[in-house]
Structure 1
Amino acid sequence: MDLGLNDRVFIVTGGSGTLMWAAARCLVAEGARVVLADRPAHENDASASYVGSSAAVRVVTGEDGDVSPERLVSAALDTWERLDGALIGVASSLEANALEVADEEWTAAFQSVFLDAVGMIRGISRSLGSGGSLALVLSPDAGVPLVEQAVANGVEAGLASFAMDLAVELGPQNIRVNGLVPLPAEGTRQGDGAPMDVSSTRRHSSSEEFGRVAAFVLSPAASYVSGAMVSVDSKTPGLS
């Protein structure tokens, strides 16, 4: 299948993460170009060349991964004179039970997880035209509450709702918005210490498997997919 990604330009935030790198690689393999937001600590990893020579540019963020959407948009437009979409990673949240989280910790999580992601999405969406595509990478907390993940359970569910609202708002402009919900990293455990088994296939997906799904969802081949939360085998309802 031709995904129609040749010469299209995408921003990938959270580029220091394995899943985001894999998605960037898959986009490049399909002929796209990427602006990869990457933390300074990963400078020696040469992330741009890791993704694919002239098909990627690296924008160094702050130590905490902070970078403005305007800077990323400018990198895309200055380099390739176009922008077609973005894959936006969401910051991780504090692990704790609901009654253990202090008010200031809730506030900090809302700022660093929810508002930062919303700001990135809004900033990038303003620079997209017809055919644009945005995808937000969430954790399984977005759809299924996990043990000792009270903050993520609340904040990421809110982000999922925001993405679906935005899909309705941007739909008339032919701009799509979706969410991707990948399986937790291998070795993730529940609050009681037991391995977290949330996959219907009873195995963890590879980063490349996630990357291929991300590339498809962002591509014109998925032109009628919008407002969806796409599970990359992260949870089957009713699975024990």
Structure 2
Amino acid sequence: MDLQLANRVAVVTGGSKGIGLAIVRTLLEEGVRVVAASRKSSAELEALADDALTHVEADLMDPEAPARVMERAAEVYGGLDILVNNAGGPPPGVTLPRASFLDASDQEWRAVFEFNLFSAVRAIRAAIPLLRKRGGGTIINISSVNARQPSPLNVDYGAAKAGLNNLTKVLSSEFGPEGIRVNTISPGPVRTPWWTDDGGVVDIIASRTGTDRDDVIGALVPEMMKLTTGRVVEPTEIADMVALLASPRSANTTGAEFVIDSGLLKEL
């Protein structure tokens, strides 16, 4: 299927690893020119080096950073068609999952909201004028099933992502008549560095349960979370949905949430 994405311009936040890296790679394969924003690059991102890829070092918790990223896209590639707000998870100094709601301080709540919600708000604010100049475009917000599955283990993160879901609906309604589509993808557990890096979620669960880390990701997590498919999500599965939602073939899809969670959410 031709997704008709060739020569379009995208900004992907958190684009150096995990889901963001997979999104960057998939969009490049579809002929998109991509600006990947992250605090620092990675060997995997550098391996994709191409005239169609620009990396911008940016701490998206800096209120001025999102606007600088959008300006760079306009400067290098002449505009913007697609914004993927992917940056998220625990910001520096915050460790998730927690043991209880009581473990999160005011400072940690603020940091989690800055990274998971306010950075997206600022990126969207800076992107809309560029999308308007193109006569429309698409914004894709990467949320989480935690937005709809409350948990004391990630209470601040879930609250921030719930805000992002609400924001998607508001933006879709306000800017849809101008041709700007806004949708949400809500992943479940995904095989990303947040889970698999040393000291990540897998190690935290392994230390609490006395389980081997390979068994945690391969068996314990699917069992604990009652994953229907029996396995965690791969980053490319999120990236494929991003590409479809970014495509003109999804021209009448807006204000929607797409859950890719291995069947974790069972409720209507």
Q: Equivalent of 1:157, from 132, 149, 162?
A: 162
| 2:242 equivalent to 1:214 | yes
Q: CA offset at residue 162 of structure 1? A: 1.0
Q: CA offset at residue 232 of structure 1? A: 1.6
Q: CA offset at residue 158 of structure 1? A: 1.2
Contact conserved, 1:38 with 1:65, CA < 8 A, in 2?
no
| 2:59 equivalent to 1:54 | no
- The residue number in structure 2 matching 1:175 is 180
2: CA distance, partners of 1:39 / 1:108: 15
Q: CA offset at residue 73 of structure 1? A: 1.9
1: CA distance, partners of 2:264 / 2:190: 17
| 2:9 equivalent to 1:9 | yes
Q: CA offset at residue 157 of structure 1? A: 0.7
Task: Pick closer, same or farther for the CA change 1:171–1:234 going to 2, 3 Å.
Answer: farther
Contact conserved, 1:183 with 1:205, CA < 8 A, in 2?
yes
Share of identical aligned residues, percent? 29
The TM-score, its normalising length taken from structure 1, stands at: 0.86
Task: Pick closer, same or farther for the CA change 1:147–1:201 going to 2, 3 Å.
Answer: farther
What letter is aligned with 1:152? Y
Deviations, residues 171-197 of structure 1 (Å, cap 9, x unaligned): 111101111112223465698756243
| SS of equivalent to 1:128 | helix
Contact conserved, 1:28 with 1:52, CA < 8 A, in 2?
no
Q: CA offset at residue 52 of structure 1? A: 5.0
- The residue number in structure 1 matching 2:253 is 225
Q: CA offset at residue 32 of structure 1? A: 0.9
Matches of residues 30-109 of structure 1 in structure 2 within 5 Å?
30-40=30-40, 42=41, 45=43, 47=45, 49-51=46-48, 53-62=50-59, 66=62, 68-93=65-90, 94=94, 95=96, 96=98, 97-109=100-112
2: CA distance, partners of 1:101 / 1:50: 38
What letter is aligned with 1:8? R
Contact conserved, 2:10 with 2:83, CA < 8 A, in 1?
yes
Q: CA offset at residue 236 of structure 1? A: 4.6
Q: CA offset at residue 46 of structure 1? A: 6.7
Q: CA offset at residue 234 of structure 1? A: 4.9
- The residue number in structure 2 matching 1:21 is 21
2: CA distance, partners of 1:104 / 1:80: 38
2: CA distance, partners of 1:134 / 1:4: 17
What letter is aligned with 1:219? S
Deviations, residues 44-103 of structure 1 (Å, cap 9, x unaligned): x272x53351111111124x7756222222222222212101111242245332233333
Contact conserved, 2:169 with 2:255, CA < 8 A, in 1?
yes
Deviations, residues 4-44 of structure 1 (Å, cap 9, x unaligned): 1011000011012221111111111111110111323x35x
2: CA distance, partners of 1:179 / 1:51: 26
Contact conserved, 1:200 with 1:233, CA < 8 A, in 2?
no
Deviations, residues 163-221 of structure 1 (Å, cap 9, x unaligned): 11111111111101111112223465698756243533221222222211111111111
- The residue number in structure 1 matching 2:124 is 121
Structure 1 alignment gaps of length 5 or more = none
Contact conserved, 2:5 with 2:32, CA < 8 A, in 1?
yes
2: CA distance, partners of 1:119 / 1:13: 12
Q: How many residues align?
A: 235
Larger mean Cα displacement after TM superposition, 158-167 or 82-91: 82-91
Q: CA offset at residue 147 of structure 1? A: 4.5
Structure 2 alignment gaps of length 5 or more = 196-200, 210-219
Runs of 4+ in 1 over 6 A off after TM superposition: 189-192
